[in-house]
Amino acid sequence: MTEQFIYQTEQFSDIKILRYQVPGFEDLSLQQKELIYYLSEAAHCGRDILFDQNNKYNLRIRRTLEAILLSYDGDRACDDFKNFEVYLKRIWFSNGIHHHYSMDKIMPEFSEEYFGELIANSNYELMPLNASEDEVSLIADLSGVIFDSEEQSKRVVLDPKMDLIVNSANNYYEGVSQKEVEDFYQKLDKGDVDRPISTGLNSKLVKENGVLVEKTWKIGGMYSEAIEEIVYWLEKALSVTDSELQHQALTKLIDFYTTGDLKTFDDYSILWVKDLDAHVDVMSGFIEVYGDALAIKASWESVVNFEDVEGTKRTKIISDNAQWFEDNSPVDSRFKKEVVKGVSAKVVTVAMLGGDCHPATPIGINLPNAEWIRKEHGSKSVTIDNITDAYHQASLKGGLLEEFSYSKEEIARSEAFGHLGGNLHTDLHECLGHGSGQLLPGVGMDALKNYHSTLEEARADLFALYYIMDEKLIEIGLIPSLEVGKAEYDGYIRNGLLTQLTRIELGKEIEESHMRNRQLIAKWVFEKGADDKVIERIEKDGKDYFVIRDYNKLRTLFGELLEEVQRIKSEGDFEAGKLLVENYAVKVDERIHKQVKERFEKLHLAAYAGFINPEYKPVYHEGIIVDVEIIYPMDFSQQMLQYSSKYSFLPHIN
Ligand code: ZN
């Protein structure tokens, strides 16, 4: 018997902290364990880059708060100090002073005066003071940023009525307007028109003496101190790579970090996509652009993982049958792909999360982002099972399922099949859904404009929902029975009409595209199936429940909506797309919203989760690594302090 693994360690504010297991690590070869160790060290070294990208004052604030936590010589039992600790934990969690999801500035629940008292009674030598500064000027410098709700108020502003660059508090631009940024990148040479480089991806744009200048993130450039460390560990990894292509890819990646050349980054991405032999894999670089309102600048991230061979059998079955799924979908044949190209999809076990993937993390990744590389060379799509597993294990205890399910049968089905249903949904969504269908000639990718993301997610979700109740899945060995599909339907409707509303503030509408998509689908099928009572709304003891009465008819409705959404995309029917999104996806039923929030609050659950990483410890014999041990730490704050002391390479202000 193994000891029971503890998934959740603590909860504060709207966050719960979880741990994830790395099953299969012990069975890897020594070379692979060593590779994971080096890549993990590289994944830690970019942490400060992300803090600084998110806001110019982040590093200085974090270091000040850490100095207080380590040395404050006063009452640590009072509420003020407890609130101070929560504030610091939230900053660690969000990699800065803005909420990781809403992007709003986190307001401390203690006063400016108390902050002064904390600094005055802490060790000055630990404070991030620049030459000729004292603690008084430090307080003066940081107070506005921390306590004034108007200053640096939102990390990414998406309101089209405002200047998106001037009003966003991220550190990707300084002293420039949106217009100047747009003009600058419009004019910049992107090279080959069919294979454009991602200009601006790895630099900060600033105005110096009236001239716009890019400060490139590379060795010898901005963030050099951290990038040198990343490269140091990547070079170590070169001696223990898992395949010849991986060796070539990592060599290119080092070259990219050294020169900052974006053509080199594309060359690296192509090698990385082609490398399907390496068991251990890594993503590392300036990758996702969500943190920039204009989607030009990329945040730093890294994920180290290895293939989950058992799990990958599941995605292999799906991709082997990709053509069958395409041929049999309810979509009009004019909008179907005649030949579905090979999809490289696998299930992986995450070994280390870094940068923008930690502590909050995605559960599936599909890279690279450059469209032309995806078209010419394909992409890698991964589902991360050990992370979804941790989410699932931690959710079993919370009471959310019991609160929002109407029947015992629904609860039992979710406990038995919900996890498999959820994973299969992700596989079908990622490896087939997004890749399915085709545009009519002459229809552009951008025809649906601001409704594109929501409708694209809806298409992928509907594809998954349509097939998860198909006998074909039993035939090809993916599910034991259609109960898996029913569990997924229950969960999807419950989430789309009730539980996801816990993330929205009262009075606000739904903005995020995955959330919009879920409500769009759930509301549409609820309404269209009303006459046949496909889904019934039941009120009991003042609580609303949505109960599926006819799973087969529900499946037919998912199919009908898939057909319509695919038509909208294939024809580029902007008006129809707009109507669907505006009518079903955006507005929130106020009465239900309020009720859901109240029911959720009583459970004392957190709306967001993130992870403590494992630790890898090399075992040496006569100077040579003979084994690598894995340790699962329990304390989030300890890990954050350890990262800050071991992997802090950048100046306070960059
Ligand atoms: Zn998607």
Per-residue confidence (pLDDT) for residue 45, from 0 to 100: 98
pLDDT at 342: 53
Question: Among residues 496, 492, 491, 604, which one has the least CA distance to residue 16?
Answer: 604
Domain boundaries, the chain: 21-47+170-303+622-627, 308-609
CA of 456 to the centre of ligand 1 (A): 7
Average of per-residue pLDDT across 512-526 = 95
Q: Are 424 and 478 in contact (CB under 8 A)?
A: yes
How would residue 319 be classed by pLDDT, with cut points 50, 70 and 90?
confident
- Cα 286 to chain centroid, rounded: 14
454 alpha carbon – ligand 1 mean position (Å) = 9
* Strand partners for 8: 18
Residue 209 CA to ligand 1 center (angstroms) comes to 43
Residues with CB under 5 A from ligand 1 (ion): 457, 460
**Tens digit of each residue's pLDDT (9 = 90 or more) over 549-564:** 999 999 999 999 999 9
The percentage of residues in the chain with a pLDDT greater than 90, rounded to a whole number, is 82
Q: Per-residue pLDDT averaged across 166-177, rounded?
A: 97
* Statement: residue 432 has pLDDT above 50: yes
Q: For residue 365, what pLDDT is reported? A: 85
- Cα 445 to averaged position of ligand 1 atoms, centre (Å): 16
Q: What is the average pLDDT across 17-28?
A: 97
Give me the mean pLDDT over the 538-543 stretch.
Answer: 96
Q: How far is CA 141 from CA 127, 129, 151, 227, 440, in A?
A: 13, 11, 12, 28, 57
Question: What pLDDT score does 1 carry?
Answer: 41
Q: Could you tell me the distance, in angstroms and rounded to a whole number, from the CA of residue 498 to the centre of ligand 1?
A: 21
Q: Which one-letter DSSP state was computed for residue 109? A: S
CA of 457 to the centre of ligand 1 (A): 5
Q: How far is the CA of 364 from the centre of ligand 1 (A)?
A: 9
3-state SS, one letter per residue, for 171-203: CCEECCCHHHHHHHHHHCCCCCCCCCCCCCCCE
608 near 30, Cβ under 8 Å?
no
Instruction: Quote the ligand 1 centre to 461 CA distance (angstroms).
Output: 7
- Rounded Cα gap, residues 101 and 511, in angstroms: 11
> Which residue carries 């009674």 as its tokens?
121
Q: Output the six-digit token pair for 446.
A: 């951008």
- Kindly list the distances between the CA atom of residue 461 and the CA atoms of 428, 441, 454, 478, 648, in Å, as whole numbers in the listed order: 8, 25, 10, 18, 41
pLDDT tier at 339 (50, 70, 90 boundaries)?
confident
Question: Which tokens is 202 given?
Answer: 């790895």
In this structure, the number of other CB atoms found within 10 A of the CB of residue 632 comes to 14
Question: Would the pLDDT of 467 be above 70?
Answer: yes
d(CA 72, CA 89): 16
* Alpha carbon distance 256, 298 (integer Å): 15
One DSSP character per residue, 384-425 reads: EHHHHHHHHHHHTTTSHHHHH-S-HHHHHHHHHHHHHHHHHH
* Model confidence band, residue 341 (pLDDT cutoffs 50, 70, 90): low
Rg (CA), the chain: 25
* C-alpha 567 to ligand 1 mean position (Å): 18
Q: Tell me: the pLDDT tens digits for 103-120?
A: 999 999 999 999 999 999
How far apart are alpha carbons 253 and 264 in whole angstroms? Answer: 8
User: How far does the centroid of ligand 1 lie from the alpha carbon of residue 559, in Å?
Assistant: 18
In angstroms, rounded to a whole number, what is the distance separating the alpha carbons of residues 544 and 398?
19
pLDDT one-digit tens code per residue, 112-152: 999 999 999 999 999 998 777 787 788 888 999 999 999 99
Distance 345 CA to ligand 1 centre (A): 14
Distances (CA, A) of 38 to 256, 353, 369: 18, 13, 25
- Which letter does DSSP use for residue 584 in this model? I
CA dihedral of residues 617, 621, 626, 632 (deg, nearest 10):
-20
The confidence score (pLDDT) of residue 343 equals: 64
What's the whole-number average pLDDT of the chain?
A: 94
Read off the pLDDT of residues 562-612 as tens digits, 9 standing for 90 and up: 999 999 999 999 999 999 999 999 999 999 999 999 999 999 999 899 999
* Partners of 631 in the β-ladder: 615
283 CA distance to ligand 1 middle (Å): 19
> Which residue, among 577, 406, 403, has the nearest Cα to 502 in the 3D structure?
403
Least trusted range by pLDDT, from 183-187, 375-379, 490-494, 525-529: 375-379
What are the residues whose beta carbons fall under 8 Å from the beta carbon of 474, sequence distance 6 or more? 480, 481, 482
Q: Is the pLDDT of residue 80 over 80?
A: yes
Question: From ligand 1's centre to the CA of 429, what distance in Å?
Answer: 6
- Percent above pLDDT 70 for the chain: 99
Helix and strand numbers, DSSP H then E, in the chain: 24, 15
- Position 338 scores a pLDDT of 86
| Residue 631 in tokens | 């340790």
Residue 104 is given by DSSP the state B
Q: How far is the CA of 141 from the centre of ligand 1 (A)?
A: 42
Q: What is the pLDDT of residue 130?
A: 78
> What is the topology classification, in CATH, of domain 21-47+170-303+622-627?
Fructose-1,6-Bisphosphatase; Chain A, domain 1 (3.30.540)
* CA end-to-end span of the chain: 51
Q: How many Å lie between the centroid of ligand 1 and the Cα of residue 460?
A: 6
Measured CA to CA, the distance from residue 368 to residue 380 in angstroms comes to: 7
In which residue are the tokens 């129809």 written? Answer: 576
Q: How far is the CA of 255 from the centre of ligand 1 (A)?
A: 32
d(CA 245, CA 304): 17
Residue-level pLDDT at 452: 87
Measured in Å, residue 538 CA sits from the centre of ligand 1 at 31
Ligand 1: centre distance to CA 459 (Å)? 9
CA of 430 to the centre of ligand 1 (A): 6
Residue 395, Ramachandran bin (φ over 0: left; ψ between -120 and 50: alpha; else beta): alpha
649 CA → ligand 1 middle, Å: 35
In the numeric block, the tokens 């579905």 are attached to 340
SS3 330: coil
Let me know: does 41 contact 625? Beta carbons within 8 Å. Answer: no
Helices within 239-337 (DSSP H only): 244-259, 262-274, 309-320, 322-327
Among 166, 169, 37, 20, which Cα is nearest to 102's?
Answer: 169
Q: Count CA within 13 A, CB hemisphere, residue 275.
A: 25
